[in-house]
Amino acid sequence: MARNLFITKSLVDLLQEARENKAGLKKTLTGLNLTTLGIGAIIGAGIFVLTGQAAAQYAGPGIVISFIISGIACAFAGLCYAEFASMIPIAGSAYTYSYATLGEFLAWIIGWDLILEYLFAAATVSVGWSGYVVSFLQDFGIQIPTALTAATGSVLVEVPKIGWQELTTNLTTGLASRGIDVNTLPQVTAIVNLPAMIIIAVLSLLLVIGIRESANFNNFMVITKVSVIILFIAIGFAFVTSDNWHPFIPENTGQWGHFGWSGILRGAGVIFFAYIGFDAVSTAAQEARNPQRDMPVGILGSLTVSTVLYILVAIVLTGIVSYTTLNVADPVAVGVNAMGKGMFWLRPIVKIAAIAGLSSVILVMLMGQPRIFYSMSNDGLLPPVFSKVHPKYKTPYISTLLTGSVAIILAGVLPISILGELVSIGTLLAFAIVCISIIVLRKTRPEIERPFRTPFVPVIPALGALICFIQMLALPFDTWARLIVWMAIGFIIYFSYGIHHSKQRINHSKQ
């Protein structure tokens, strides 16, 4: 029984499945589509939210080093993903790779873990999207009722209508300049975060209609946000004050993870959320025209572009303003404000880029999760309904609608802090397992054709797994506790359903 937990899926069967494409998923994605899908998933909350918050709370200007550490870990993991994606071009990402190398039980663990990455990330980012949309509409005098803009039960302050030009980088100071004491403003208890729920519903329906349409929408969003980010970097360098970079690594407060080198490590673990999504490229492998060639291009290309942009934004942002002022929901907007009134025209443009950027992240996350469900259902570990493909649109529509429905509820009722804490640790665990799987497969099946080969094996995969584990250890204990609870729920589902319906196990018992 215990030995059967680690039964592997035949690579011959996987490759045959990829060639036959019995599921009928439409092969329409090019290398450029895959690259923009990756950029769409990566560039979002990391630049527009987490960069400033992690700098203010953990690393100071040293957040640049945090991004480099996380970027190196992602580069190692990305090389491993690229080998697997070119070798096993099947929807399912790390779940499929683990099934082929480490066995069914560990594949289930990684598949269940990936739900943290995709489903919870979609809900998390939609909350950030809501904040930027509400703020953008307020700039033009359009007010959404406060009770419909935050998680259920959140206590919010009713802010009076004041044009964005009249506020400074600090809301309290800006209101005080108008003779308004923030402590005297009325409070409202939130009902649901309606904008977050709406964006998930719209993008879920778009994903049902078709992967090509979704990719085209994502391409437009990616062009918009990358253009504005480059504009911010180019203009921002002129406003950098080198004094803001001193000390580059603020002295540790005496508490582990709060500044100093431990703060840089914790910052790396926290902003790892910013890098999630490049692996979402691998979930679309069965919809790529030439996966052996295009999957490595999509994974490594999107990761390279995104890492460079992250580092440049971190350098510019911490150079424009003191890192102590960046613990806000819109740190890039704070940076624009600090440039002076002459640059206020850039603020709404930055918000448009943030909205576009976060939209594409939500889209790719909602695209990735149903394809994980699809693969697990095909293997019998989840009910057959999860692998149904729409007869007209050729998309896994049932699992897409289910994913969207759950994400709508999560986004509407839970705050971003609870949602986001689970995502980084889930992603780090997934990346570490993929790195280890490369080493295992090189030892057990060296003869398999590999259109793309991870260089310097086992050094690079081992370093990738090690850096991921170190970043996991740097995360708070509460994050680990929630991961353990989540995994316990997954074990219950596996041992009550998956283990009894596993097609691989059934076929093995017949032999």
Half-sphere exposure of 229 (CA within 13 A, CB side): 28
The arithmetic mean of pLDDT across residues 477-501, rounded, is 89
pLDDT at residue 509 greater than cutoff 50: yes
Residue-wise pLDDT tens digits, 288-298: 788 778 888 88
pLDDT at residue 220 greater than cutoff 80: yes
* pLDDT value of residue 61: 94
* Residue type, position 453, single letter: R
Band the pLDDT of 481: cuts 50, 70, 90.
confident
pLDDT at residue 133 greater than cutoff 70: yes
Token pair, residue 477, equals 């204990």
What is the C-alpha separation between 180 and 178, in angstroms, rounded?
6
Residues 6+ apart with CB under 8 A from 238: none
DSSP-derived 3-state class of residue 178 = coil
pLDDT at residue 163 greater than cutoff 50: no
pLDDT at residue 327 greater than cutoff 90: no
The arithmetic mean of pLDDT across residues 414-441, rounded, is 79
Percent of the chain with pLDDT over 70: 85
* pLDDT value of residue 318: 93
CATH ID of 29-154+190-510, from 3.60.21.70, 3.40.1390.10, 1.20.1740.10, 3.30.1330.10? 1.20.1740.10
Band the pLDDT of 170: cuts 50, 70, 90.
very low
Between residues 373 and 471, which one has the greater pLDDT? 373
CA dihedral 91, 93, 94, 96 (to 10 degrees): 10
Identify the DSSP state of 156.
E
Residue-wise pLDDT tens digits, 29-45: 777 888 887 887 788 76
Between residues 256 and 456, which one has the greater pLDDT? 456
Q: How many CB atoms lie within 10 A of CB 145?
A: 11
Between residues 327 and 402, which one has the greater pLDDT? 402
Band the pLDDT of 505: cuts 50, 70, 90.
confident
The CA angle 106-463-303, to the nearest 5 degrees, is 85
* pTM for this predicted structure: 0.77
The arithmetic mean of pLDDT across residues 125-153, rounded, is 80
Compute CA distances 354 → 232, 262, 348, 417, 431, whole Å: 12, 30, 10, 19, 27
Between residues 350 and 201, which one has the greater pLDDT? 201
Domain residue limits, the chain = 29-154+190-510
Compute CA distances 284 → 39, 102, 278, 368, 386, whole Å: 14, 22, 11, 7, 16
| Nearest Cα to Cα of residue 151 among 414, 370, 396, 330 | 414
Band the pLDDT of 184: cuts 50, 70, 90.
low
* pLDDT value of residue 60: 92
Token pair, residue 317, equals 């942002």
pLDDT at residue 165 greater than cutoff 70: no
Band the pLDDT of 144: cuts 50, 70, 90.
confident
Token pair, residue 387, equals 């692998």
Residues 6+ apart with CB under 8 A from 234: none
Band the pLDDT of 510: cuts 50, 70, 90.
low
Residue-wise pLDDT tens digits, 372-396: 888 889 889 999 988 888 888 777 8
Identify the DSSP state of 193.
B
* pLDDT value of residue 421: 64
User: Is 332:355 a contact under the CB 8 Å cutoff?
Assistant: no
The arithmetic mean of pLDDT across residues 345-363, rounded, is 84
Quick one: residue 86, left, alpha or beta (phi over 0 = left, psi -120 to 50 = alpha)?
alpha
Residues 6+ apart with CB under 8 A from 271: 46, 50, 51, 54, 63, 66, 67, 70
Mean pLDDT of the chain, nearest integer: 81
Token pair, residue 454, equals 């991870």
pLDDT at residue 211 greater than cutoff 90: no
What is the C-alpha separation between 457 and 329, in angstroms, rounded?
41
Residue-wise pLDDT tens digits, 240-259: 999 999 999 999 988 888 89
Residue-wise pLDDT tens digits, 266-317: 888 777 767 777 777 777 777 778 877 888 888 888 888 888 998 999 999 9
Band the pLDDT of 23: cuts 50, 70, 90.
low
